Structure 1
Amino acid sequence: MSSTPKPTPDAFTPKARLEEGGLRDVLGYQLAQASILTNLGFVRAVGKPTHLGQVEFTLLHLIKQNTAVTPSKLAQALSVSMPAITVWMGKLEERGLITRQRSHTDRRSRHFEVTADGEALVSQAMAAVLAEESQLLDQLSAAERAMLLELLRKVARQRTT
């Protein structure tokens, strides 16, 4: 009589203790499992205190880092539609976190700039999200954290559209 080896504890989902089987080797599944924690951490550290969603935080930070960025560049960077960018940017503008400016080189074009309030808020939010993620990754060494981020950047760089 042969017995089936008993799965090790890491063969199960973190919460419901369901056996993962082949999902253990699926990148998208593992990213989704990890994003559950990062999304909850973001809401706790940034979303509730600042009333910024993840996309709004990302847009605000990208605008801060990229002087005179256009809506089309932002849409392209995040793989979202122009109408979606318009809605998010409208919310940020209503809150006084960004302004729309006419381009000095092409009067038909507009770009965004972060206001002083926007810069203060995104700096505070970035510090909070980094602190939260540091706690989530505390079981990893500094080298493992750096490797994880670098590997994820390599995967993301495969995107061409």
Structure 2
Amino acid sequence: MKRIGLFPGTFDPLTFGHLDIIERALPLFDKLIIGIGINSSKAPMFSAEQRLEWLNEIFKLEPKIETVIYEGLTVDCCKRIGANYIVRGIRYVNDFEYEKAIADMNRSLDGNIETIFLTCLPKYTSVASTLVRDVLRYGGDVSQFVPEIVLKTVNV
């Protein structure tokens, strides 16, 4: 059985913290699918298509990575794409408590899908998309938090 992982998130915008988790998760799976989740209760700064474009460009030479946009339950996305693992990044202890509650709910919904937690490197613990969006809104420099392709988009 192939090990297929789904790394779900909003990636609004894509940060170096996200890339750290993706690159470290890659050797664990035969295929890693990056899922851009659409959350109807959130108003994103960047379109899902823009976020998909960033990811596709960055990983265009990595055959083990695919991308998808999805709405609804993450476990339903897993079923559609054949993923048996969900990958989540952890920065702080409170991230773990929140993520564990979601993992427990997902396991209740589908006992065949396991959640894998990866801790980010210490230099990325303060890099959160929410904070990066705030810096962007007020015209700050986010070059230390996001890849070049994202910078090109926000500096247009």
Q: Which has the higher helix share?
A: 1
Higher RCO structure, 1 or 2 (CA under 8 Å, sep 6+)? 2
Q: Which has the higher strand share?
A: 2
Query: Larger Rg: 1 or 2?
Result: 1
